[in-house]
Amino acid sequence: MEGKREESVMRKKSEQEGEVMDGSDIMELVGDEKVYGEFVDHKFQELDRDRDGKLSLKELQPAVADIGAALGLPAPGSSPDSDHIYSEVLREFTHGKHKKVSKTEFKEVLSDILVGMADGLKRDPIVILRIDGEDLLEFIKSPSFEPELISIPSEIEVPNGSLRDYIIKAFERLSVEQGMPPASDSWVMSNIVEPALQSCSTLLEQPIRQDTFLLHLKKVAECVAQHLKERPVIVAHTENTFDGSGIKRLLSNKFELEKCIFLLSGLGLTICLATQTLDAALKTVARDRSGKISKEYLRVALDVVAPSAGLPPFGAVAQMDKVIADVAKMLDADDGKIVTEEEFKKLLTEILGSIMLQLEGNPVSVSTNSVVHEPLTSASTLLQPPSHSAA
Ligand SMILES: [Ca+2]
């Protein structure tokens, strides 16, 4: 994947389709014992600063940061959500103990993480799009520009909104397919949209007028395209469809040793890291002393099994939350009554079964677009092969 910066002259068609990360590179690495062995030897040597043959927590930090970068997470310390994932990854290496990690342990855990990453990518490939303003310019000139955006002032209510406010709303509506990186991303807003707004018009603080809205919008969009040309934005694009197949798999496995997955919010990537059973889910759910459980914990339990069932965590996908809420209502799962553990399990299984049926009939599709601030491959040295031993 190196040296591809120069090849970007290839442009257009191939670029629109984007570079696809589907995990096959990772599987190739982990699947070849010799190559993977050398890879680990090299990584370990690099990390073992004091040369004592073990990795301390501190020595593991760069590896953990690298794994995060490979997943497209922001750097450690920049958000509580991703920091949680970083600490989970670190805990995997140390098995939750404060001890040093041997090379064998490092090799095993790293392989689990990489295979988990590859599985996630195979299921939900990430397409890397380079957005450089060309598609946006094309969209501005296309016949769909006007019908798509003319209704914004009448559809969206911004109290005392200026022209500027409505133009920002319009950019938030544009998709990556239309050549616009997500304007909801604060980096895009402050580095692309804001500068474009500043540089191109002085009339933006005026109240909005329907008759001149599109004209102004077009002008700003041209400026945005110019900024994108000077500073292309890389976006990791995923499309996930929740069609119930994950639940089907889980239910047919009788909840045995299903891999626990944690979902990375930004990219929708999943990593299988630990094992998790329905019983484990029940153990994390508070119980009263009689061994009975309040139904109010059903939601918690559902969230615990969600990763194994291929469901997003509660709150991550609004359409999915609605499906789950409807099912819970249908099965009287929200009445907060106290039930026995058996009943609780049965009800949870019924809920999963109903969600599965719902999704089979009406799959929910979501796409995510995350801005990648550096090309993924160079942001992480994790997957770079050892330089000295080209296999
Ligand atoms: Ca060491």
Find the 46 Cα to ligand 1 centroid distance in Å.
Answer: 10
Q: Are residues 101 and 145 in the same domain?
A: no
One-letter amino acid identity for 302? Answer: L
Coil vs helix vs strand at 262: strand
Q: Which residues pair with 262 in a beta bridge?
A: 271
Element (H, E) at 305: helix 298-305
Residue 44 CA to ligand 1 center (angstroms) comes to: 9
Task: Examine the domain organization and report whether 278 and 355 are in the same domain.
Answer: yes
Nearest-CA neighbor of 166 among 174, 178, 158, 177?
158
Ligand 1 centroid to residue 59 C-alpha, Å: 6
Residue 12 lies in a domain: no
The Å distance, Cα 81 to ligand 1 centre, comes to 29
- What pTM, to 2 d.p., does this model score? 0.57
CA 67 to ligand 1 center in whole angstroms:
19
Please tell me the distance between residue 58's alpha carbon and the centre of ligand 1 in angstroms.
Answer: 9
Question: Are residue 121 and residue 137 in the same domain, yes or no?
Answer: no
Total domain count, the chain: 3
Q: What is the CATH number of the domain that holds 58?
A: 1.10.238.10
Let me know whether 250 and 299 are in one domain. yes
Please give the distance, rounded to the nearest whole angstrom, from the Cα atom of residue 48 to the centre of ligand 1.
4
Angle between helices 33-47 and 103-123 (to 10 degrees): 120
Cα separations in angstroms, 105 against 40, 48, 101, 317 = 11, 14, 6, 36
How many angstroms is it from 51 CA to the middle of ligand 1?
5
Ligand 1: centre distance to CA 60 (Å): 9
From 231, 266, 296, the end of a domain falls on: 231
Output the CA 52–ligand 1 centroid distance in Å.
Answer: 5
3-state helix, strand, coil in the chain (%, to 5): 55, 15, 30
Same domain, 166 and 269: no
Half-sphere exposure of 19 (CA within 13 A, CB side): 20
**Sequential pLDDT tens for the chain (391 residues):** 444 433 333 333 334 457 787 888 888 889 999 999 999 999 999 999 999 999 999 999 999 888 877 766 677 887 766 677 777 778 888 877 778 999 999 998 888 888 877 777 777 777 888 999 999 999 999 999 999 888 888 888 888 888 888 999 999 999 999 999 999 888 999 999 999 998 876 677 787 788 888 988 999 999 999 999 999 998 888 887 889 888 887 777 654 333 333 332 222 223 323 334 444 455 545 445 455 667 777 777 777 677 677 787 777 778 888 999 999 899 888 887 888 777 877 788 889 899 999 999 999 988 878 787 654 444 456 665 544 433 3
109 and 173 share a domain? Answer: no
Distance in Å, CA 50 to ligand 1 centroid: 5
User: If you measure from the C-alpha of residue 85 to the centroid of ligand 1, how many angstroms do you get, rounded to a whole number?
Assistant: 23
State the distance from the centre of ligand 1 to the C-alpha of 101, rounded, in angstroms.
9
- 272 membership: H or E segment, kind and range: strand 269-276
- Under a CB-based contact definition with an 8 Å cutoff, are residues 264 and 73 in contact? yes
Residue 10 covered by a domain: no
Flag whether 339 is in a domain. Answer: yes
55 CA from centroid of ligand 1 (Å): 4
Q: Is 369 within a domain?
A: no
Same-domain status, 190 and 266: no
Q: Are residues 123 and 137 in the same domain?
A: no
Beta carbons of 236 and 294 less than 8 angstroms apart: no
My answer on whether 227 and 262 are in the same domain is no
Instruction: Tell me if 112 is assigned to some domain.
Output: yes
Same domain flag for 58 and 94: yes
Residues spanned by the domain of 330: 244-362
